[in-house]
């Protein structure tokens, strides 16, 4: 249905809803490959690094009624296995599905190598630069909280690849607009925002931290106000399309993200309680548009009113 279609740099999507990086893995995550992925707007793959990573000590994920804490640590089989096995397998099963690769590294050089090899596969429509993982000491969040590093990483990767590049921003900063402007300066085609908030939970019975790495990334509905605020601030100041992510679990949440300034959305934590969350949100979106007497989502973008 044309009503939900979205055009983003390098991406033609039948609807704006995609599973967020991490939740889909490489087709081995929370979404069973038996579901019809062709109904999704796109799929973002798990962040890929140069070498394979086993991630942080177990437990890597702790679920709570009000959200999820993860200290995964970029577990992935490394770019070679992704390019030679994971990507071709997915592409064979889904020839037309927009696929977005996610890139991270321990150094600027790492980012470039991973980006180049993912791009050279010829199997991806876009790259997401993950400069905001809270669970790795080297690279990851460290890069994403320093505007000058964001600019440098983005411009080097852009010189290296022909694919559109979306920079995934960290909420663990005091000035999100500065980070977004840094990505724009580096030549980013778009922004994905936001990654998880750096948090911690403690079990009162065992008195142990909830995750093996002690602290981790917090996600779920409680993140939505922060995401909405940051997307709104950035949309006012930076002329780049924004893929909104943070606490989305319903079609109404998608509408709210659009009003703040998003042009598409990603769903992560909602899939813990409902692996078909993306499908349900897509199915509800049309009804939600009817309720608001709208013909398309696009006309809502950035349409938040000022004052009361
Ligand atoms: O919360 C997160 N966890 N954000 C990321 O960017 C990566 C992931 C992980 O692997 O730790």
Q: Which 3-state string (H, E, C) describes 266-292?
A: EECCHHHHCCCHHHHHHHHHHHHHHHC
Q: Which CATH number fits domain 2-300: 1.10.3720.10, 3.30.465.10, 3.40.50.150, 3.20.20.70?
A: 3.20.20.70
Residues with CB under 6 A from ligand 1: 22, 47, 70, 72-74, 130, 132-135, 195-196, 217
- Mean pLDDT (10-residue bins), the chain, 308 residues: 91 98 88 88 97 96 97 97 97 96 94 98 98 79 86 96 98 97 98 97 97 97 98 98 98 97 98 96 96 92 90
pLDDT given for residue 141 in this prediction: 57
Q: What pLDDT, on the 0 to 100 scale, is given for residue 143?
A: 85
DSSP SS3 for 61: strand
Nearest CA to ligand 1 atom 6: 133
| Structural tokens at position 289 | 């548009």
Pocket test for ligand 1, best of 52, 72, 131, 197 (most atoms within 8 A of CB): 72
Q: What is the DSSP letter of 161?
A: -
Q: Given this model, what pLDDT does residue 292 score?
A: 93
Residue 258 neighbours by CB distance under 10 Å: 25
Which residue in 133, 141, 254, 265 is the catalytic one?
Answer: 133
Domain spans of the chain, in order of start: 2-300
For residue 58, how many other CB atoms are within 10 A of its CB? 10
Q: What is the pLDDT of residue 110?
A: 94
Q: What is the pLDDT of residue 140?
A: 60
ipTM: 0.98
**Res 136: pLDDT:** 87
- State the Cα–Cα distance between residues 285 and 273, nearest whole angstrom: 19
Compute the residue count for the chain.
308
Rounded-to-integer distance, Cα 128 and Cα 220, Å: 21
| Residue 114 CB neighbour total at 10 angstroms | 28
Ligand 1 centroid–CA 20 distance in Å is 11
131 Cα to the center of ligand 1, angstroms = 10
Per the structure block, which two tokens stand in for 71?
């200290």
DSSP string, 137-196: SSSTHHHHT-HHHHHHHHHHHHHH-SS-EEEE--SSSS-HHHHHHHHHHTT-SEEEE--P
């Amino acid at each position: 249905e044309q009503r939900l279609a979205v055009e983003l740099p390098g991406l033609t999507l039948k609807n704006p809803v995609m599973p967020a990086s991490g939740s889909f893995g490489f087709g081995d995550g929370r979404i069973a490959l038996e579901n019809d992925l062709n109904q999704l707007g796109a799929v973002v793959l798990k962040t890929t690094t140069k070498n394979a990573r086993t991630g942080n000590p177990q437990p890597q994920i702790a679920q709570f009624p009000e959200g999820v804490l993860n200290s995964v640590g970029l577990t992935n089989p490394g770019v070679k296995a992704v390019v030679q096995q994971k990507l071709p397998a997915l592409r064979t099963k889904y020839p037309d599905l927009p696929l977005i690769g996610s890139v991270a590294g321990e150094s600027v050089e790492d980012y470039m190598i991973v980006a180049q090899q993912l791009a050279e596969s010829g199997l991806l429509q876009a790259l997401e630069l993950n400069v905001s993982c809270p669970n790795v000491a080297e690279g990851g969040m460290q890069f994403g909280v320093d505007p000058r590093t964001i600019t440098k990483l983005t411009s080097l990767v852009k010189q290296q690849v022909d694919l559109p590049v979306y920079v995934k921003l960290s909420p663990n900063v005091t000035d999100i607009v500065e980070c977004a402007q840094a990505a724009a300066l580096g030549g980013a085609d778009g922004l994905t925002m936001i990654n998880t908030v750096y948090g911690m939970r403690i079990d009162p019975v065992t008195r142990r931290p909830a995750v093996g790495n002690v602290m981790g990334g917090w996600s779920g509905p409680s993140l939505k106000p922060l995401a909405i605020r940051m997307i709104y601030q950035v949309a006012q100041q930076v002329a780049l399309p924004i893929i909104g992510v943070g606490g989305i679990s319903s079609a109404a949440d998608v509408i709210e993200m659009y009003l703040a300034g998003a042009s598409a959305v990603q769903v992560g934590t909602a899939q813990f309680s409902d692996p078909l969350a993306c499908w349900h949100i897509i199915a509800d979106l049309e009804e939600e548009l009817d309720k608001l007497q709208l013909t398309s989502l696009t006309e809502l973008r950035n349409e938040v009113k000022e004052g009361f």
